[in-house]
Structure 1
Amino acid sequence: MIGAYNPEKGCTYPQHHECYQIDESILKRGVAMYVQMAVDFLKQ
């Protein structure tokens, strides 16, 4: 769901809707979050 909703950029439609758009500026933060989760998991 990262990047799926940002009314300022017109990203308000759900996935599979013909007007769906993604806020690509947030993808870097999303990738960083998932990498950190993987690192934390592997440290256990």
Structure 2
Amino acid sequence: MSRFSMIFVVVVVLVVGGLLALGFVNTEKQPVTVEKAMLNDAQAK
């Protein structure tokens, strides 16, 4: 059980760290692409 809990903690830390890294890196790029895609869909309709 201790081995499983250690692996679980490592996976959680990696996932949280990856999400935080993506959030810091793509704060300005990601929402713009999403907004452009939504605008393109709206114009297509």
Give TM-score, length-normalised by structure 2: 0.49
Larger Rg, first or second structure (1 or 2): 2
Higher-helix-fraction structure: 2
Give TM-score, length-normalised by structure 1: 0.50
**Higher RCO, 1 or 2 (CA under 8 Å, sep at least 6)?**
1
